[in-house]
Amino acid sequence: MSDETTLSIVVGDGSVTAIASEPAKAGRATFLYTPGAGSNVHDPFGKQLCRALATRGVRAIRFQFPYQEAGRRSPDRPAILEQTWRAAIEQLAGETPVVGGRSMGGRIASQVVAEGAAVAGLALFAYPLHPPGKPERRRDEHLVTITVPTLFCSGTRDVFAAPGELTEAAALVAGSTVHHLESADHGFNAPKSSGRDREDVYAEATATLVEWLGREGLL
């Protein structure tokens, strides 16, 4: 397992916790990650993802938003969420990072990238294209302005974006890559009948990210 360091990101008058998975021999890449709305910096998927990247020479840092830091359930205002991402990029990245996250964490990262944040790539896991059962309320208007390599990786049973919907939205980002996790839902769980468990889905998502980073020359 990689060494881990606890860091702090200054956001306005407060701060949030970040955990860096440090590679034994650092490469040129840094990866920043935020979890979904109902999780925090100890998000199981984010933890596995960052630790796996560290074994491949990537300095991988996961962090949380102010409401998660305070133990609140309701997310901060969008402006605060975006401010947190910008602060992380400015304070932690060093060189131009690859950024991403799961569900809401990834969506906020994508909004910051669409507004011109200096990043090398964007990885979106379980992107919440629309609220469950409300496909008309799509959150994709900003995607067309993203110009960096972008990965969309979601389950085929994700109620926030059916496979066809996700592929259609991803097409708004020039040169994007889409990977569908067979049988997985929004939380990356799969039914027993599929023969898969969550760890298997996590491993596939992680391998997909590593392969994509290599293919895009980001490792």
Angle (nearest 5°) at CA 35 between 201 and 46 = 50
Q: Which residue has the higher pLDDT, 66 or 28?
A: 66
- DSSP code, position 18: E
Radius of gyration of the CA atoms of the chain, in A:
16
Report whether pLDDT(1) > 70.
no
Query: For a pLDDT cut of 70, what percent of the chain falls above it?
Result: 99
| Residues 163-219 pLDDT 10s | 999 999 999 999 999 999 999 999 999 999 999 999 999 999 999 999 999 999 998
Between CA 116 and CA 113 the distance in angstroms is 5
Between CA 7 and CA 5 the distance in angstroms is 6
Can you tell me whether residue 155 is helix, strand or coil?
A: strand
**Amino acid 27: pLDDT:** 74
Query: For a pLDDT cut of 90, what percent of the chain falls above it?
Result: 93
| Residues 69-86 pLDDT 10s | 999 999 999 999 999 999
Could you give the maximum distance between any two Cα atoms of the chain, in Å?
49
Between CA 192 and CA 176 the distance in angstroms is 31
Least confident segment among 26-35, 100-109, 115-124: 26-35
**Domain 3-215 of CATH type 3.40.50.1820:** yes
Count of residues making up the chain:
219
Boundaries of every domain in the chain: 3-215
